[in-house]
Structure 1
Amino acid sequence: MNKLIVGNLVHRPLRSIISAFAVAIEVIMILSIAAIMFGMLDNSRNGTLGIGADMITHPGASTALMNTSSASADVRIANVLKDLPHVQVVAPVNIKLTTGASLENIYGIDFASFNALRPFVFKAGGPFEQPYDMIIDDLQAARGKGTKIGDTIKALNHDFRVVGIVEHGKGARKFIQLTTMDALDGNAGKASAFYIKTDDSPRNQELVRKEILATDGLQGWSVQTVEELLASLTPEKMPGFNIALRVVIGIAIIIGFLVIFQSMYTAVMERTREIGILKSLGAGKMDIVSVVLRETGLLAVVGTALGVLGTYILRAVLRAKFPTMSFSVTPLWVLTAVCIALFGALLGALYPSLKAARKDPIDALSYE
């Protein structure tokens, strides 16, 4: 039977190759969309941790998407927050989500206070010198042919001169002066959030929260610890995240199912006389089902292996071409994609295998 299975696949090489590649594409679709979406979350989590703050406060309700909040807070509130007990550093930030060549955050910062949270690690250049200066991280600098100190970057419909290149992992990839961001917004002296560093974060964060909410004018503000913010950066808390992921996975499963179904159904029809011979030699219904399913299983195993390999090749290509893109391939998702692909392939072959098993041996032998 094993020789028969391999012989059937080798006898129709084009169909076998197409079927295996359909399974591979299914695996690549599942893994790549999951890697990109979870990579974005991981990038946000790591960037938030890298800022060095213990707490974040801003007007309005708690949200993980602070880049969608307007800059409605007076930056002078930083002085009020700084005078509270257990508060060491307060850094006002104006965060803008831009949709130019790519979707990205740009931070408008007060360099002195933001750097005090956790110092920038400069790889080239230094702090701001002029209003329209920009600091970028090393991954942003590596895009394309590489950005150097003194180069010009267009952002927010304005040209900025690159004066510093820093190690990545501090919330954003591009930083400009807070006053410049406010001027471009036509909203002087405003911030969208305040990052806070406390003197003893585990013990005093709740005290700081109560002090902020007890301050006149700040009663309705959101006050979160970094741990609480990170807990909100999960698929369950992100709008539409799981829906988009399930839709893409569903489309991938349908593609794999239909290709395998069509391939095995056609193969069963072409092998009617062969099935009749097997039955006349004593093969039972389960033997026929086993042949079709084992043949499908072999195609699926080859396809999933190609799909996993193709995903890692795609990751290498994307990292080389788009160094700022996060592409997170995890063993759990590799296992999930493999199981989904194998199950979908076997499900697609189930009806053809049952149809083959039900064939009457006399009719099958007389089939032309």
Structure 2
Amino acid sequence: MNKLVVGNLVHRPLRSVISAFAVAIEVVMILSIAAIMLGMLNGTAKNQSGIGADMITHPGAASNLIGMSGASASIKVAGILAALPHVTVAAPVYIKLTASSSVENIYGIDFPTFDALKPFVFVAGGPFTGSNDIIIDDIQAAKGLKVGDTIQVLGQPFRICGVVEHGKGGRKFIPITTMGIIDGNEGKASAFYLLTDNSPQFQKVVRDEIHATPGMQQYDVQTMEELLSLLTPEKMPGFNIGLRTVIGIAVIIGFLVIFQSMYTAVIERTREIGILKSMGASRLYIVGIVLSETGLLTLVGIAIGIIATFALRAALHAKFPTQAFTITPGWVASGSLIAFFGALLGAFYPALKAARKDPIDALSYE
């Protein structure tokens, strides 16, 4: 049977190649969309954990997805928070979402307090020396930027004063006062990162103290563990819906291509099927041939798709070094299984049609 299966595929190389590439495209679609979406979530979670804070608080009207809402709290609240028992550092931040050259969060920070959460590790340069200075991370600098260069951020020119190791919230940091002026919202902050005595018991006390402070009863207070737990596919609205939609489209494409390919193959090989049945081949044997051809095509397509996905990741990292692209073994396995069983499903009806052919009618087929 194996020789027959391989012979059938080699005899029609163009159709075999098209079918294998259709499966490969299906796999690339599944893995790439999952890699981009998971990369964004994982990157955000990693950057937030790298800030070094123990807790975060912001006005209740603000979104848990930092950067998705405006700054509505006074920077002076940081002084009130820093005076609370068990709070050692209160760092105000003004985070603004921008979509100029790419979608990213620009961090407006008070350098002394933000650096006190967990010190920046400078690769080059140093802290702000002026209101139009900007600190970028090493991934951003990989685009060919260096200390002393001028870049456009939020429609304004900024001089790069320092390059730091990545993983401390955002990739670009400007003075919080400058952010307020640019955004027409001076003296405001989006949220406050807190460094506390490291104990869950003390964090509960801090939470209660914040809610007991006049004017802060409606503030949302979270530990960093609680915030990071929200950055998962299950907690992100629309994440799984979008992922399943793309996967569904990919499966439909693979299903239709395999169905059409195998159905055409069955029609073209009607006489061959008649000969096999006249020689005693059972229906199960005929079904096995068609499904084996499909399985071999699918395995080749899956292999091509996985290789193409890793090539796509390399190309994206070279072109867009800040774009997270997370390929996990779990999703490689899931994408492969989805493509494999989707293809078998597409070949099932043509296989049954082949098995049901009457040998006499098949032999007389022109």
Check the 8 A contact 1:26/1:307 in 2, yes or no: yes
2:101 counterpart residue number: 101
1:61: Cα distance to partner? 4.9
Query: Compared with structure 1, are the counterparts of its residues 56 and 228 closer, same or farther at alpha carbon in structure 2 (3 Å cutoff)?
Result: same
Shift of 1:64: 3.0
Instruction: Give the conservation status (yes or no) of the 8 Å contact 1:23–1:304.
Output: yes
2:320 is the alignment partner of 1:322:
yes
How far apart are 1:202 and its partner, in Å?
A: 3.1
Give the residue type in structure 1 aligned to 2:64. A
Q: Secondary structure at the match of 2:308?
A: helix
Partner of 2:50: 50
C-alpha distance in 2 between matches for 1:219 and 1:64:
17
The amino acid that maps onto 2:142 is A
> 1:1-368 to 2 correspondence within 5 Å?
1-61=1-61, 63-143=63-143, 146-368=144-366
Query: Using the alignment, how far apart are the partners of 1:44 and 1:298 within structure 2?
Result: 40
1:253–1:172 Cα change, 3 Å: same
Question: What residue identity is the alignment partner of 2:115?
Answer: N
**1:63 Cα deviation after fit:** 3.9
Give deviations 1:233-290, integer Å, cap 9, x for gaps. 1112212111111111011001100110010000000000000000000001111100
Q: 3-state DSSP class of the match of 2:16? A: helix
Q: Matched residue of 1:85: which SS?
A: coil
Percent of aligned pairs with the same amino acid? 68
- Per the normalisation by structure 1, the TM-score is 0.98
Residue 62 of structure 1 and its aligned partner are, at CA, apart by 7.0
**CA 1:236–1:63: 2 relative to 1, 3 Å:** farther
| Alpha-carbon distance in 2 for matches of 1:63, 1:236 | 17
Contact 1:64 1:233 in 2 (8 A): no
1:203 CA displacement: 3.1
TM-score (norm 2): 0.99
Contact preservation (8 Å) 2:54, 2:198: no
**3-state secondary structure, aligned to 2:332:** helix
- Asked whether the 8 Å contact 2:62–2:69 carries over to 1, the reply is no
Aligned length: 366
